């Protein structure tokens, strides 16, 4: 049996697999598993939360040193008891062009605390 054509075919397949994608706008996603949902308050589970952070921006995030840094909130402070004040970043728009406001933050917190949310605790 002549192995040269077989080896040439394997080498060609290896070269094709190693070549970068031809498209300019390529998103490659690698994770331990799949997100269970794209509803941000439905599941409090590792892979889903990781995926959500690719699409939704929090008020405050953590940097590589796990220090708090601004997200949608530019500043925050405790004002009294359990009450906090957040100054929101201006000029933020949703994908449909509508403006981001404090009402959106209130809606998100209320939805997260709803009985149907896995984030209610």
The token duo for 21 is 């994608």
In a domain, 120, yes or no: no
d(CA 71, CA 20): 33
Q: What is the CATH number of the domain that holds 69?
A: 3.90.76.10
**Is 121 within a domain?**
no
Structural domain includes residue 118? no
Domains of the chain: total? 1
Higher per-residue confidence, 5 vs 93 = 93
44-87 pLDDT, tens digit per residue, is 888 888 888 888 899 999 999 999 999 999 999 999 999 999 99
> What is the enclosing helix (H) or strand (E) of 87?
strand 83-88
Task: Please write the tens of the pLDDT for every residue from 25-44.
Answer: 888 877 677 888 888 888 88
Residues 42 and 118 sit within 8 Å (Cβ to Cβ): yes
Prediction pTM value: 0.66
| Residue 13 in this model has a pLDDT that exceeds 70 | no
Domain that holds residue 73: 4-112
Q: Is residue 117 in a domain?
A: no
């Amino acid at each position: 049996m002549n192995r040269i054509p077989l080896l040439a075919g394997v080498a060609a397949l290896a070269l094709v697999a190693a070549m970068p994608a031809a498209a300019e706008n390529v998103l490659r996603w690698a994770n331990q598993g799949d997100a269970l949902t794209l509803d941000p308050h439905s599941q409090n589970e590792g892979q889903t939360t990781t995926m959500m952070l690719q699409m939704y921006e929090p008020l405050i995030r953590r940097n590589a040193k796990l220090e708090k840094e601004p997200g949608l909130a530019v500043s925050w402070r405790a004002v009294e008891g359990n009450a906090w004040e957040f100054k929101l970043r201006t000029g933020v728009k949703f994908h449909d062009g509508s403006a981001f406001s404090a009402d959106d933050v209130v809606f998100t917190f209320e939805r997260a605390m709803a009985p149907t949310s896995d984030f209610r605790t």
